[in-house]
A and B are shown apart, each in its own frame.
Chain A
Amino acid sequence: MSESIHTAHGTGKTGTVPPAIELRGIDKRFGAVHANKSIDLRIEKGTIHGIVGENGAGKSTLMSILYGFYQADAGTIHVDGKLCNIRGSEDAIAVGIGMVHQHFMLVEPFSVLENVILGVEGGAVLRDGVDRARHELKRLEQEYSLNIDPDAIVGDLSVGLQQRVEILKALYRGAEILILDEPTGVLTPQEADHLFRILRTLKEQGKTVVLITHKLREIMAATDTVSVMRQGAMVADRKTVETSPEELSELMVGRKVLLHIEKGPAKPADVVLAVENLCVDNAQGVRRVKNASFLVHAGEIVGIAGVSGNGQSELLEALAGIRVVSEGQVFLNGQDVTPGHGVDAAQLRKRGVAHVPEDRHRMGMVTAFTAKEAAILGYDDDPAYQRNLLLDWEAIRTTTQHLMDEFDVRPADPDLKAANFSGGNQQKLVLAREIMRDPALLLVGQPTRGVDIGAIEFIHKRLVAMRDAGKAVLLVSVELDEIMSLSDRILVMCDGVIVGEVAGGMANERALGLMMAGVAPEQAHAEAGQ
């Protein structure tokens, strides 16, 4: 079934230079799960190589094997043409492999310098090592134009800068090959562009970069060559200039996928949700949402764009009644439903507010429960589920079966533990539970996070169907593509403030990106227009 085409030679180099990384027949099983099926991969020196695939396609497993977290059951790893036995991250570092993890491994109260030398202090007395490191760091930082103050405290740095500290760490340890695992998830488009510039500089200096991502746009923008993984197998290698996002997504999913959602114009009707001067504080008393005011009408999807951590989560949770509102008011169909003071999540649900939370594992479901138990979360007091004083599990099972059939949840087994479903199917179950209640207002956070492409398409269609059925939908997502393709109106949040509103059809990625970074709308449009 493999249609591997080994044409992936680097930037004009001849075959005499051994590839930076060559994997031959890497095979790995976790019990019954065959995570990597005899993978062959060749990455030329001095290139940026992308690896794409859906969640669970085996990308992370493969990289973990390369970095020594797991040992392959079969197969060999060759670095610079030499056979390597990588048994742990120390071995990987020793042969010049560095890794920037999706979740940073940094000590926040330490300075940049202290973080970089952590583990390679060089001797019992710290001072000698620190002096040497300062020197080396300056050189690296200038060579790759990373713009980082070595004495800054890491906890004070923005996410984008923290990521550069991670890159610096790898370079300081002598990395010739840099693996980045989903590096742009937490960045604004501008920060991501800066990251790609840094990667290109690295490439020019002769380093090899491996970029793992599920965002095809980034593959197209940043890489020289790309490999596609599907269900544990390497299904294709392509030169980036010779492929297209459509081809890559088809290879990832194994069938044709609609990347753009077909939807007609919105027909906004009455105001369903009115938010006035809403302020929300977090547990530490820090104001996370500042004077937010906006309307959501029936029959429209309003998207909230913003870099993760700019108050969107708090706004969504406050509207769902999970967080207490500090100031301001919320009206649902004209009635005051400001959360706190007797209005909680349960009551909002009864009034027709459904909520698909941002993190289904943390909030949306109890993974230890069976699907049918997960399917009544928040609705366990429904009279249809009661029989005298007891819960009517037969009725619940029937309802769950119906939800599963309607939303194509696989396997459609109400008695299976929620943890045993894939991310996409868990999300479909949560959406089914909320949407099938026919709510007036649907609050959705990150509807497709950790969801495979096939399910993304399905979920997007259902959200548009909700809109067309005359419901109000408020969508929070850090995926700009998702916001732009679904929303009829886009609100941009930065540091807790709604900095501007853009009509969905008019949205421009660059302008949105600038607004997400706090630039005023007029200026953003002007700059983006240039």
Chain B
Amino acid sequence: MTTSLQLPRWIDAGVLPILNLAMAFLISGLVVLAIGESPLEVVEILIYGAFGYDEAIGYTLYYTTNFIFTGLAFAVAFHCGLFNIGAEGQAYFGGLGVILAALYLDFLPFPIMLIVAIMASAAFGAAWAYIPAYLQARRGSHIVITTIMFNFIASSLIVYVLVNILRPTGSMTPESETIAEHLRLPFIHDIAASFGIDMASSPLNLSFVYAIICCVLVWLFIWHTRWGYAIRTVGANAHAATYAGIDPGRYVIMAMLISGALAAFMALNEVMGVQHRLLIDFTAGYGFVGIAVGLMGRNHPVGIFLAALLFGMLYQGGAELSFEIPTISNDMVVVIQGLVILFTGAMEHMFRPRVTQIYIAWRSRKMAQEAA
């Protein structure tokens, strides 16, 4: 007679992630101490570097945008019981979709191009996710294996396309031509300026707004549509899905297509918003960090937004850190980020049994008091 106790939401989505995070920072602090720096000073620089001034906030939110997209991508697949490790490759392909649209359909006016670019990136990312999804749904090949391999294949393919097709003649660097100025996503500071608000310039662009819209859409889709319901049924109990007449394979494919499309939206930020061209490895590991963002955010859009903000802060503040304290190299920042991923992702359940115990003890004492 074991009772699986449900923790209230404020513990599950509040106390536990904060505890995990605190643990990560504690260990990071020890590492910082070990190399002879003050952990407090590091925290100060990290937070100031991420939120201390206009430009820093802009950068933080620019990183956040990428993490929202890849975190949402992970979450949608996860609700269907799939561990999509392929956001990296799907985003890379999304970049190809965006650049092809922007370079070859450059006669379109911006509003139409915006829609075309969203559709193109979604289509390319979804297409790249479709193959592992099909193999999982109809042939039983494990999605973790196939998506991770498809990251490598995507990487090689895009290099080929860049070097042999998209590279302007005469150029020595493997990157595409730049997107025409009127087709780029406007920067937030430019938009603000047109309303007469003065903001420091940063890479933050319109895709941030789209990321927030995607959060709302994913929330509606997963919890308020039949298809989301079916996806969650398949993810929680595939036998029950079959019993209900829901074809699990069909929804595995649907979830992966949406997941791939969401990952690909990252290219809107990077390719259309910031770099304005397709660069080698522009995905830079955002796809992988998206897994930690999804897990830490409990695969809920609100949680994902907060987790994405945290990682955005770590990226921007970390960059500032290695700049301010020379003994803390860039690798050191990666260590801190790695610890956060370790504690919030891989070791997510470390504190759960203890916290559950404490909660039960506290609750039964409270019930005893109320009874008395």
Please say whether chains A and B are actual partners in one complex: yes
Interface residues of A (CB under 8 A from B): 30-33, 35, 56, 58, 60-61, 320-322, 344-349, 355, 357, 362-369, 373, 376-378, 380-381, 386, 389-391, 393, 417, 419-420
| Cross-chain contact A366 with B233 (CB below 8 angstroms) | yes
Chain B residues near A365 (CB-CB < 8 A)? 240
CA gap between A368 and B240 in the complex, in Å: 12
Q: B244 is contacted by which of A35, A377, A386, A393 (Cβ under 8 Å)? A: A377
B3 touches A30 (CB 8 A): yes
Residues of A within 8 A of B364 (CB): 31-32
User: Nearest CB to that of A61 among chain B residues?
Assistant: B1
Among B40-48, B67-75, B222-230, B317-325, the stretch that binds chain A is B222-230
**Bound state CA distance, A200 and B232, in angstroms?**
52
- A389–B225 touching, CB < 8 Å: yes
What would 13 more interface pairs be, CB under 8 Å, given A30-B3, A377-B243, A378-B244? A31-B360, A32-B360, A56-B1, A58-B1, A60-B1, A344-B247, A345-B244, A346-B244, A357-B243, A363-B237, A363-B239, A363-B243, A367-B236
- Which residues of chain B are near A381, meaning CB under 8 Å? 226
Chain A residues near B1: list those with CB within 8 A: 30, 33, 35, 56, 58, 60-61
Q: Which residues of B contact A346 (CB under 8 A)?
A: 244-246
Residues in B with CB closer than 8 Å to A61 are 1
A366 near B237 (CB under 8 angstroms)? yes
A378–B247 Cα distance when bound, in Å, is 11
List the A side residues contacting B15 at CB < 8 Å: none
Contacts of B363 in A (CB 8 A): 32
Question: If the complex has contacts A364-B240, A366-B233, A391-B226, are A349 and B245 also in contact, measured as CB distance less than 8 A?
Answer: yes
Check B3–A31 contact: CB distance below 8 A: yes
Option from B5, B236, B367 in Cβ contact (under 8 Å) with A369: B236
Tell yes or no: B2 within 8 A of A by CB.
yes
Residue of A nearest to B364 (CB): A32
Minimal beta-carbon separation of A337 from chain B (angstroms): 13
Seen from chain B, the residues whose Cβ lies within 8 Å of a Cβ on chain A are 1-6, 220, 224-226, 229-230, 232-233, 236-237, 239-240, 242-247, 360, 363-364, 367
Contact (Cβ within 8 A) A32 B367: yes
A391 CA to B231 CA, complexed, in Å: 14
Q: Are A344 and B236 in contact (CB under 8 A)?
A: no
User: Are A373 and B229 interface neighbours, CB within 8 A?
Assistant: yes
A/B interface sample: 27 pairs, CB < 8 A: A30-B3, A32-B3, A32-B363, A32-B364, A32-B367, A33-B1, A35-B1, A345-B242, A345-B243, A347-B245, A348-B245, A362-B237, A362-B240, A363-B243, A364-B240, A364-B243, A365-B240, A366-B237, A367-B236, A367-B237, A377-B240, A378-B244, A380-B226, A390-B225, A391-B224, A391-B225, A417-B6
CA distance A357 to B243 in the complex (A): 8
Q: Complex: how many Å from CA A61 to CA B244? A: 35
* Chain A proximity of B231: nearest CB distance (Å): 11
A393 touches B240 (CB 8 A): no
Residues of B within 8 A of A391 (CB): 224-226, 229
Inter-subunit contact B239/A362 (CB<8 Å) = yes
Assuming the contacts A31-B364, A32-B360, asked whether A322 and B242 have C-beta atoms less than 8 A apart, the reply is: yes
- Contact assessment for B4 and A345 in the assembled complex, using a CB-CB cutoff below 8 Å: no
* Alpha-carbon separation in the docked complex, A363 to B236 (Å): 11
CA distance A391 to B227 in the complex (A): 10
Bound Cα distance A415, B225 (Å) = 18
Most buried by A among B2, B4, B244, B247: B244
**Chain B residue with the shortest CB-CB distance to A389:** B225
4 cross-chain pairs, A with B, having the tightest CB-CB distances, nearest first: A346-B245, A345-B245, A378-B244, A31-B360
Q: In the complex the two chains form, what is the Cα distance from A378 to B239 in whole Å?
A: 12
B246: nearest chain-A partner, CB-CB: A346
Q: How far is the CA of A32 from the CA of B360 in the complex (A)?
A: 7
Residues of B within 8 A of A344 (CB): 245, 247
Q: Give bound CA distance, A270 to B144, whole Å.
A: 53
What's the nearest-Cβ distance from chain B to residue A195, in Å?
25
For A366, what are the chain B residues with a Cβ–Cβ distance below 8 Å?
A: 232-233, 236-237, 240
A83 and B196 CA atoms in complex are apart in Å by 86
A366 to B234, CA, bound (A): 9
Interface centre among A344, A367, A391, A417 (most CB of B within 10 A): A391
Contact of A390 among B5, B220, B236, B237 (CB under 8 A): B220
Q: Which residue of B lies closest to A323 (CB)?
A: B242
Distance between B340 CB and nearest chain A CB, rounded to angstroms: 27
Give complex CA distance A357, B242 in Å: 12
Between A33, A348, A363, the greatest number of chain B beta carbons within 10 A of the residue's beta carbon is seen for A363
Complex CA–CA separation, A320 to B240 (angstroms): 13
* Residue among B220, B230, B239 with max Cβ neighbours from chain A (10 Å): B239
Chain B residue numbers with a CB within 8 Å of A322 are: 242-243
Q: How far is the CA of A31 from the CA of B225 in the complex (A)?
A: 37
Chain B residues near A347 (CB-CB < 8 A) = 245
Instruction: Let me know if A31 and B5 touch, CB within 8 A.
Output: yes
Roughly how many angstroms separate A252 CA and B86 CA in the complex, as a whole number? 56
